[in-house]
Structure 1
């Protein structure tokens, strides 16, 4: 019952322009002046991520480059970045962008792509000649990833890092040491002491190797380090205060991680759910790779105040979340998979729960962003019931999936789930073993909203997030109190239940009756979707005129809306504390005002 319609965004760097092949440079020039090498940087079974590196080994500048290769049938490029990639059958061509075609002597540039299938490139050509001056297969391989660095001798201003060596077929030349994704040193040994740090501050360290041909290998796993001393972290109390950050919000909504800082929200939350990863072929996968880890941020857009560079190992939302955690070390981030749109894959995932769990951990622990995520959240809408699609995997499937995730992730990761709040008899809570699964989870995000809305176009009008029942409520059991009571009755501990708050309203038009229960003619107009509007808009465009079931409603003209306000949130938080709940969560940050007044109400109400 949660709205999760992904905003479509046309991003040039993610769309392959299959418009024909580009012209090639003189073959004689390429064979002796440059090399092109390939490495598979990630493999998730049904697909992979690949990277080509072009290096100018000559004595004069290159003005452009074009890499060609063949893939076997069944293997193809699905998206690419930092190059324009085209195809003709199984033959693939990548040409430089306008800004990365010129290479000085000794300089190199990389471009990457996501692929489907399992094949490897063959018959490589660079500007029409051999990629290595000899064979037409890719030449000298880049080095492997070094081991994840360990930290010792941590002081207020320094830390000693050590790591296991990388391997390479021609030999490792040196290592780049990365702090928060930016290079701080290049060393020839497998240890480094970083100095000049700030006391009481969180940092993230990783390393990457360079071989004798100056090829860079993949980045190691990341090690989080907090220097000693400094100020105490902000007190968070014993209640969870969690908000959802949507991956697609960086487009039409223009909402970025930095908004959590400028609104004051970052100091008032304990956890963030990053939504959403996709579930394909029974496996977890990153959805929008551009928004997640490739979108470049300027200095004024960035949490750290530093601009992204084209060649840094991690950009996008993930890097911004890394910077947020360095600034607010009390915040934990979970990667949420599924949601309304992407829940159709969970049924297949449940058929091999262990393999699904392994795939999820591979995504969460990807070496490029392993320090960003502290756990995983599963948003299956809905096990053994109907959401966007209907699932028939049986009542035990959800528990089986949660058990496999806990076994794979172990005790040091958070494992949570967003679940239905249908408290009716024989409803969605009764369709799956939420009580049995609770032992494997840290908490449930109970989606106590979207009970009523203009998906019933003629009404009756009713609050979409009622805390309690009330006379005339259209459906028994469709309220927070009944849902929480049912989950407790099934054996879920109170402290493992979080109350859900919507930072948006649902509304109808063609309504003449101010009180709930009126008829309507359809959905009220909304900025992004009819029948839905952000709180930050509704508080001014249609101010609340009453309260029912613990939620505000508003009648303005012919429109009727229901939504939570700071006052109703305060009452809901008081109720949550009286029930011994573990805290609250909300969908989602961008619906709040610029000064975060709803997040502030959740924070204040749980203290």
Structure 2
């Protein structure tokens, strides 16, 4: 798994004029511009009878903004048909967009983008932001409350839990708090605690809290706390029909000390539907074992084992395969696929494409080996990249990929899963254009579109940029390198949205020698990382360099001379909402060990898709 790409067009930014400002103070009498903000509009695409529009709200002041509302007028015949990353409503020709719970807070200099699909040909007019001007010259009105502190849970029983949280702040005073369970309001209280009752035993819940001030303005949601009620067994299958897939790396059991059992202790096993075991090798045109010791030989101690029983010297199967077998016994809803290739081992696919049937037969023989056939439910192919360049360059032709996937489906049949990790390079003439992904789609259950690693410190001098942008933004280093463009290109080629999974990286990409807080700064090289320069796990970054802003749906932070971008539970919530809006088949992530010990990123994906 490595970097991806895609295509956009050069869009002019339209700064809408100040209009319709009534009841505002004269500029000469206005308060100091400590909480100013601006809103800009771009038309991202136009297909004659409709278009995609995008608004970017930026905090141009010196204090944080806790919420935002953008208003505008459309001419008759123009309307919003769908929207993402904002709640959009209308009254006649007047339209209003309010922030979601996860993107209302903006630090100084930070920005957020929301989008919509429109019908008609008109353009917005009479823009207002928080009741003031959209050009950043008018101070927004009374600020909404801050986010309360993340709740803590205590007294958990089969049917109830007690929640408590640090108070929110507001310039006019906090009136009450809304308690949200799995995103839906369950209570409004005037204190900073609440006991939720009537719950189901052995069930996972997620709680957040929002404050409301005396002007009835609602602030952003707090961080989420995951709660599992007692009783009810150990294996509730995930709700919904979306794929929730995580990669488990065979080498993670070494330096990272991350075992299959960690999926249980973190709570992640109850929240996923599929695991990709990475990686099997591809050599001499055939599927091969990646690491025999890790795969089926290593003896796990009782405290390392899913079952709590130590491996013995003479048992038929040990290693990760046996641990995955134990995991499936405990969580039978989980399906496991063996993933072959990856960045390092993709060089063998070119030879495999010369004889697809022989390759498929070798893979089938290995996956269905009687020693571990019950462990795997199918095969995943991670070819980086067909008829294009990754670690090495492939020249097998545009049809090779389709032929390979056709042979795999023919061999594995309809009773097994056949999936593939793909590039996210949606740029004009980029990697998506290099191979027949549309032709191959009929043979796969889904594509894991690697919508991360678009930008990183392999460009040592920068510019700094989010490695997993959801959408384009002003100043993006390469047009087409975003999730939205990649998905749009796949769909335009005829790949069904239901066969596309959005990808999330459980790590950040970073530079050092950076002086600029906002994206687009220069650098001197990669920031230091635990295992590799320029990359660090989310579980480390969340405390060592907490996020200070968002751009294109991804968080970023500058700490000293280091600049990092990574996804947080809040940005994942936004991406999952976007994925649902686009009709995607679900989400996947690379990889489990980058998450916190309580699986907060997995939880964000699961909650966002359920």
Match of 2:393 among 390, 395, 411: 390
Aligned partner of 1:51 in structure 2 is none
Alpha-carbon distance in structure 2 between the residues aligned to 1:410 and 1:373: 14
Match of 1:340 among 336, 343, 354: 343
- Listed one character per residue, the Cα deviations across residues 138-162 of structure 1 (whole Å, up to 9, x for unaligned) are xxxxxxxxxxxxxxxxxxxxxxxxx
Alpha-carbon distance in structure 2 between the residues aligned to 1:384 and 1:303: 41
Match of 1:274 among 274, 277, 282: 277
Aligned partner of 1:462 in structure 2 is 465
Q: Secondary structure at the match of 1:300?
A: helix
Aligned partner of 1:599 in structure 2 is 602
- Listed one character per residue, the Cα deviations across residues 560-589 of structure 1 (whole Å, up to 9, x for unaligned) are 000000000000000000000000000000
Alpha-carbon distance in structure 1 between the residues aligned to 2:305 and 2:367: 23
Match of 1:537 among 540, 554, 557: 540
1:490 matched to 2:493? The reply is yes
The residue correspondences of 1:304-383 to structure 2 (distance < 5 A) are 304-383=307-386
CA contact 1:3–1:340 (8 Å) conserved in 2: no
The residue correspondences of 1:425-444 to structure 2 (distance < 5 A) are 425-444=428-447
Alpha-carbon distance in structure 2 between the residues aligned to 1:240 and 1:332: 10
- Which structure has more RCO (C-alpha within 8 Å, separation ≥ 6)? 2
CA contact 2:275–2:334 (8 Å) conserved in 1: yes
1:236 matched to 2:250? The reply is no
Deviation at 1:329, TM superposition (A): 0.3
Deviation at 1:235, TM superposition (A): 3.7
Alpha-carbon distance in structure 2 between the residues aligned to 1:581 and 1:326: 29
Q: Secondary structure at the match of 1:440?
A: coil
Q: TM-score, normalised by structure 1?
A: 0.62
Alpha-carbon distance in structure 1 between the residues aligned to 2:235 and 2:436: 41
Deviation at 1:3, TM superposition (A): 7.1
Match of 1:292 among 283, 291, 295: 295
Deviation at 1:384, TM superposition (A): 0.3
Instruction: Kindly report structure 1 stretches of 4+ aligned residues shifted beyond 3 Å.
Output: 230-233
Alpha-carbon distance in structure 2 between the residues aligned to 1:466 and 1:3: 12
RMSD: 1.4
Alpha-carbon distance in structure 1 between the residues aligned to 2:563 and 2:323: 38
Match of 2:509 among 506, 511, 514: 506
Deviation at 1:232, TM superposition (A): 7.8
Match of 1:404 among 377, 402, 407: 407
Work out which of the two has the higher radius of gyration on C-alpha atoms and give 1 or 2: 1
Alpha-carbon distance in structure 2 between the residues aligned to 1:577 and 1:235: 16
1:518 matched to 2:521? The reply is yes
Alpha-carbon distance in structure 2 between the residues aligned to 1:340 and 1:236: 33
Classify 1:232/1:281 alpha carbon distance in 2 versus 1 (closer, same or farther; 3 Å). Answer: closer
Aligned partner of 1:2 in structure 2 is 2
1:471 matched to 2:489? The reply is no
Alpha-carbon distance in structure 2 between the residues aligned to 1:563 and 1:472: 18
Deviation at 1:236, TM superposition (A): 3.1
CA contact 2:426–2:481 (8 Å) conserved in 1: yes
Classify 1:233/1:258 alpha carbon distance in 2 versus 1 (closer, same or farther; 3 Å). Answer: same
Aligned partner of 1:553 in structure 2 is 556
Classify 1:482/1:246 alpha carbon distance in 2 versus 1 (closer, same or farther; 3 Å). Answer: same
1:283 matched to 2:283? The reply is no
Q: Secondary structure at the match of 2:603?
A: helix
Classify 1:509/1:413 alpha carbon distance in 2 versus 1 (closer, same or farther; 3 Å). Answer: same
Classify 1:231/1:344 alpha carbon distance in 2 versus 1 (closer, same or farther; 3 Å). Answer: closer
Alpha-carbon distance in structure 2 between the residues aligned to 1:233 and 1:314: 28
CA contact 1:236–1:270 (8 Å) conserved in 2: no
Q: Secondary structure at the match of 2:302?
A: coil
CA contact 2:539–2:596 (8 Å) conserved in 1: yes
Deviation at 1:467, TM superposition (A): 0.3
Alpha-carbon distance in structure 2 between the residues aligned to 1:414 and 1:233: 22
Q: TM-score, normalised by structure 2?
A: 0.62
Gaps of 5+ in 2: 5-232
Aligned partner of 1:589 in structure 2 is 592
Deviation at 1:287, TM superposition (A): 1.0
CA contact 2:452–2:504 (8 Å) conserved in 1: yes
Deviation at 1:233, TM superposition (A): 4.8
Alpha-carbon distance in structure 1 between the residues aligned to 2:300 and 2:521: 48
CA contact 2:238–2:271 (8 Å) conserved in 1: no
- Listed one character per residue, the Cα deviations across residues 190-217 of structure 1 (whole Å, up to 9, x for unaligned) are xxxxxxxxxxxxxxxxxxxxxxxxxxxx
- Listed one character per residue, the Cα deviations across residues 15-60 of structure 1 (whole Å, up to 9, x for unaligned) are xxxxxxxxxxxxxxxxxxxxxxxxxxxxxxxxxxxxxxxxxxxxxx
- Listed one character per residue, the Cα deviations across residues 213-243 of structure 1 (whole Å, up to 9, x for unaligned) are xxxxxxxxxxxxxxxxx99852431100000
CA contact 2:282–2:346 (8 Å) conserved in 1: yes
